Amino acid sequence: MQREKSRVVIAPCSTYDEEEVYRAMKCAVELLGGIGAFVKAGEKVLVKPNFLSPSSVDKAVTTHPAVIRGMLRILAEAGAKEVVCGDSPGHGTCKAAAEKIGLSTGDLFGARIGDMSQEVHVKFDEGMTAKEFQFAREVTEADALISLCKMKTHALERITGAVKNVYGLICGYRKAAGHVKYPNAGVFARMLADIHRCVKPRLHVMDGIVAMEGNGPGSGDPVPMNVLLFSKDPVALDTVFCHLVYLDPELVPTNTQGAAMGIGTYNIEEIDICIAKEGREACSITAAELQKRYGNADFDVDRKGTKKTLLSRYAETMRALAKRPVIDEKRCIRCGICVSHCPVPGKAVSFKNGREQPPVYDYSKCIRCYCCQEMCPRHAITAGKKRRRDL
């Protein structure tokens, strides 16, 4: 029997004007069956944006407040009575991140900002890679989860989107330890897939009106992509993101591992790409048409590597291992966040030369989790290459 295609809805939108964003989101959700297909009356709903760290809206680090409010409005109109909006950032608090983008003021349509700092241990015997999680309390109290991810690059997984966004359900201070327990891109992606299998998010929305390219997920550059993406299938949604930026979906571990573990598909033949425009009938398009209309071939993302042979897979792995976090001494302010967030026992980065000098790496200890790069508030750390003397 032929597999039912995973639908990914594209809503073109070139502005964060709240009314226009809401209308685009409303139209797209209707093409997936309406919000009632995802949330039932009386259910407690957790809306989970990407709050990587407290950051201003123009940096494109977090899900834009217009997208968050758009979903909260849709839920309120459907009669949702108890809605919590929250994420557990790797640095800072959920409240601080919400305040930074203006969610502490204005209309939240009856929803409240969650605390997301109190952890609850959850056993998951069905896990293929991860058998237990330390979730924020709000995750365990919710009946339905809606994920609002951000379109960004990622040093470890190449991109971060719908599959990666669920890592914010883990209490923030636990995140670094997770990179030690799941120390490479493949096994980390499998852990993320197990989170999906455990909590079963109902709907995924990607904010790609302004995306982040380059040194993501926290230190890259904003770039307009002028789209919102919607799907029940997180892997299919991330796959469409890949096609938009001319990145082979098979090079993204969260795609390949997610598909292998049954949370979605990255086979473009199994994905129905549908365009949502208010006042017009829905129309499906091919991946080639998608790229022609909305793609960005110049999007700065790591496209190196192939997947056709065992030798090429090995070469790709060795290239990935050759990357290392590198500190730009001119940008570094010696805040120590990279040191405090290093999950390696004994620290792979430290103030070996004193606090007057930038931290230095011991690359023999570094596991290439890029927690330091992800959390640096001054964009002073990049994923570079080893020099000969470091080998």
Contact indicator for 340, 90 with CB cutoff of 8 Å: no
Give the C-alpha separation, 250 to 246, whole Å. 12
Looking at residue 3, what is its pLDDT? 73
Looking at residue 51, what is its pLDDT? 97
pLDDT mean values, one per 10 residues, the chain (391 residues): 86 98 97 97 96 95 98 96 94 94 89 96 97 98 98 97 98 87 94 98 98 96 98 98 98 97 97 90 92 98 69 48 84 94 88 93 88 90 62 34
Give the C-alpha separation, 154 to 160, whole Å. 6
- Centre a 10 Å sphere on the Cβ of residue 388 and count the other Cβ atoms it contains: 5
pTM of this structure: 0.87
Give the C-alpha separation, 243 to 296, whole Å. 9
Contact indicator for 191, 178 with CB cutoff of 8 Å: yes
Work out whether the CA dihedral 376, 382, 385, 390 comes out positive or negative: negative
Closest CA to 59 of 90, 19, 100: 100
Give the C-alpha separation, 30 to 112, whole Å. 25
Residue 338: its H or E element: helix 337-341
**Residue 157 tokens, joined:** 């997984």
